């Protein structure tokens, strides 16, 4: 039981560090009150590249008015912008700004910062051991 409690404490600390790294990224972007749902929308746009409002509505299973409202918020936050289609002037694409991309990729960046902190304190053999141990978890 003591081992599990120790492991719990270790993982709790790792998650705390990762969350601190995420907060640093959001602070760099000047955003402190973004929701998990908003981050998920940004991640979806980032993963699919340019999306139309209809495309994002279909992927997220939301109405176009809901998507429009969310994108308007992103534009005000300077996370996204609308780009008119060159082929059809009636169509607009949702594109992320650099800030929007940074937020969309914040989880990845936070994990990379955590990994940097781990690698700064572990020797090469310890790092190899940690990787070998963690690969066992499925």
Domain that holds residue 62: 33-104
- Res. 38 pLDDT band, cuts 50 70 90: very high
Residues 16 and 113 sit within 8 Å (Cβ to Cβ) = no
Question: Do residues 16 and 72 share a domain?
Answer: no
Question: Do residues 90 and 118 share a domain?
Answer: no
Can you read off the two tokens belonging to residue 8? 């719990």
Q: Residue 54: is its pLDDT beyond 80?
A: yes
- Res. 76 pLDDT band, cuts 50 70 90: very high
Nearest-angstrom CA–CA distance, 128 and 78: 41
Question: Within the chain, where are the H helices?
Answer: 2-28, 36-48, 53-60, 64-76, 98-104, 106-121, 124-135
How large is the average pLDDT for residues 100-116? 92
Task: Tell me what pLDDT residue 49 has.
Answer: 87
Question: Do residues 18 and 2 share a domain?
Answer: yes
Question: Do residues 85 and 119 share a domain?
Answer: no
Nearest-angstrom CA–CA distance, 108 and 105: 5
Angle at 106 between CA 52 and CA 93, to 5 degrees: 10
Q: Please report, for the domain that includes residue 93, its CATH number.
A: 1.10.10.10
Residues 102 and 112 sit within 8 Å (Cβ to Cβ) = no
Task: Tell me what pLDDT residue 82 has.
Answer: 95
Task: Tell me what pLDDT residue 79 has.
Answer: 95
Residue among 13, 9, 16 at smallest CA distance from 1: 9
């Amino acid at each position: 039981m003591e081992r599990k409690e120790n492991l719990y404490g270790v993982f709790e600390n790792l998650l705390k560090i990762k969350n601190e790294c995420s907060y640093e990224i959001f602070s760099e972007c000047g955003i402190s009150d973004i929701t998990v749902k908003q981050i998920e929308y940004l991640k979806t746009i980032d993963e699919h590249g340019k999306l139309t409002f209809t495309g994002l509505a279909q992927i997220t299973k939301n109405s176009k008015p809901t998507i429009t409202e969310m994108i308007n918020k992103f534009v005000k936050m300077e996370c996204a912008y609308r780009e008119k289609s060159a082929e059809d002037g009636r169509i607009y694409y949702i594109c992320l700004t650099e800030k929007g991309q940074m937020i969309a990729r914040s989880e990845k960046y936070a994990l990379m910062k955590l990994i940097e902190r781990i690698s700064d304190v572990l020797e090469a053999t310890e790092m190899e051991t940690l990787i070998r141990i963690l690969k066992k978890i499925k």
